[in-house]
Amino acid sequence: MDRRSVLTGAGLAAMAAPLAAPAYAKGERSLKMLTTWPKGLPGLGTLAENTARRIETLTDGQIKIRVYAAGELVDAFGAFDAVSQGSADMYHGAEYYWQGKSVGFNYFTSVPFGLNAAEYDAWIHTGGGQALWDELSARFKVKAFNAGNTGVQMGGWYNREINTADDFRGLKIRMPGLGGEVMRKLGAAAVSRPGDQIYQALQTKEIDATEWVGPWNDRALGLQRVAKYYYWPGWHEPGAALSLGINLDVWQSFTPLQQTLIRTACEAESLTNLAEFNWRNAGELRKLQESGVELRRFSDEVLKVIGRTSEEVMTEVVAGAGDELVTRIHESFLEARRIGILWGEISEQGYAHARRIALAAD
């Protein structure tokens, strides 16, 4: 036998092997995803379902994911523990729901007067945010990724006018995360409720006000039927990031290629989700206005008080945590905000101002 032909044949076989047998773990895997969202909720519930389908598509069906809405297997706020303990494989939610585990999780959703969506992406992907998130999540046997963003939210639905900061006193409001802590410091009674309980809580006057997301999601819940005033801007969540969390043992059982494909799926869904929120919110806001909703802006005086209170709350919460990692997360986040403000004033804000002038009617 000709030695050259043997070597050539072996080389061709070796080159063909990766095409014939992709580097997936053998066999299909069926995984469970829990969500913190009501079933089928536009933009949030559908995002979780889209993320699961994209992972299945990119892995060529090797990883199949069944999605369970809040309450189907566990309640909305039980998703993290289920994944951490291994009774479910992954969750889709908002990290600030886990602030009872560590206040550091707030920074990976949104904090008052924090980062907008573009600034958050810059911090996570380029400014060291993901490494800090990995370090925090690993304490609870979770690997998490950004898998969505609502963009700037609305300030919330109120059944009383907010003319001064004193109007928050005694207000019963649904607001999770550090925004809720700010409300408490201003004298409100802040509570956390999953999305599927908000409408009833407003309808029965269990609460006087609520934040949720923005026009697209808020109108889907029917909040315009049980609250009078719709305030803006969403100082508490200027760019709320959504997340896919995976049990760490499950994550480590994936091949490197599968891990890359899952990460890619999350990045793709985050991009398309933000685009969809920006597009849908504009159309749904118009419908809300046409239906008679009273749109109100928080005054500059109110925003200044909220801003000072927010900085106090974050300083107190970080100091009270007594956790070196939380301190590093906080300091890294503040540096990202400083950089974002510096560049944003002459880039995005500078352009927005120029566009208003250029397109203003004569």
Q: What is the pLDDT of residue 13?
A: 39
User: Does residue 9 form part of some domain?
Assistant: no
> Distance between CA atoms of 59 and 146, rounded to whole angstroms?
19
Pairing of strands 241-247, 90-93: antiparallel
Q: At residue 149, does pLDDT exceed 50?
A: yes
- Residue 61 token pair: 């069906």
Q: What is the pLDDT of residue 157?
A: 98
pTM score of the predicted model: 0.90
Q: What is the pLDDT of residue 105?
A: 98
> Distance between CA atoms of 214 and 230, rounded to whole angstroms?
10
Pairing of strands 156-158, 142-149: unpaired
Alpha helices in the chain (DSSP H): 3-20, 45-58, 79-85, 117-125, 129-138, 177-185, 198-203, 215-221, 248-253, 256-290, 300-321, 324-346, 348-359
CATH of the domain at 63: 3.40.190.170
Q: At residue 305, does pLDDT exceed 90?
A: yes
Please report, rounded to a whole number, the percentage of residues in the chain having pLDDT higher than 70: 92
Q: At residue 281, does pLDDT exceed 90?
A: yes
In the 8-state DSSP scheme, what is residue 154? P
pLDDT bracket for residue 14 (50, 70, 90): very low
Cis previous bond, 38, omega within 30: no
- Residue 230 token pair: 């719709």
304 neighbors 181 (Cβ within 8 angstroms): no
Q: What is the mean pLDDT of residues 50-66?
A: 98
Q: At residue 8, does pLDDT exceed 60?
A: no
Q: At residue 10, does pLDDT exceed 80?
A: no
For residue range 109-133, list pLDDT tens digits in order: 999 999 999 999 999 999 999 999 9
User: Does residue 196 form part of some domain?
Assistant: no
User: Does residue 228 form part of some domain?
Assistant: no
Which residues on neighbouring strands pair with residue 225, listed in sequence order? none
User: Does residue 178 form part of some domain?
Assistant: no
280 neighbors 43 (Cβ within 8 angstroms): yes
Q: What is the pLDDT of residue 190?
A: 97
Q: At residue 11, does pLDDT exceed 70?
A: no
Q: Domain residues for 245? A: 26-150+239-279
> Distance between CA atoms of 158 and 210, rounded to whole angstroms?
7
User: Does residue 159 form part of some domain?
Assistant: no
* Count of domains for the chain: 1
Q: Please, what is the average pLDDT of the chain?
A: 93
Could you write out the DSSP letters of every residue in 14-82? HHHHHHHS-SPPSS-EEEEEEESS-TT-TTTHHHHHHHHHHHHHHTTTSEEEEEE-TTTSS-GGGHHHH
Q: What is the pLDDT of residue 228?
A: 94
User: Does residue 96 form part of some domain?
Assistant: yes
Task: Name every residue whose Cβ is closer than 8 Å to that of residue 357 and which is 6 or more positions away in sequence.
Answer: none
User: Does residue 34 form part of some domain?
Assistant: yes
Q: What is the pLDDT of residue 362?
A: 53
The amino acid at 311: E
User: Does residue 41 form part of some domain?
Assistant: yes
Look at residues 40, 48, 79 and name the one whose alpha carbon lies nearest to residue 66. Answer: 48
Q: At residue 100, does pLDDT exceed 90?
A: yes
**Higher local confidence (pLDDT), 3 or 130:** 130
> Distance between CA atoms of 143 and 135, rounded to whole angstroms?
9
- Residue 147 token pair: 């898998």
Look at residues 89, 39, 34 and name the one whose alpha carbon lies nearest to residue 63. Answer: 89
Look at residues 228, 217, 198 and name the one whose alpha carbon lies nearest to residue 291. Answer: 228
For residue range 164-218, list pLDDT tens digits in order: 999 999 999 999 999 999 999 999 999 999 999 999 999 999 999 999 999 999 9
Look at residues 106, 138, 149, 93 and name the one whose alpha carbon lies nearest to residue 333. Answer: 106
State whether residue 234 is helix, strand or coil: coil
Q: What is the mean pLDDT of residues 55-84?
A: 97
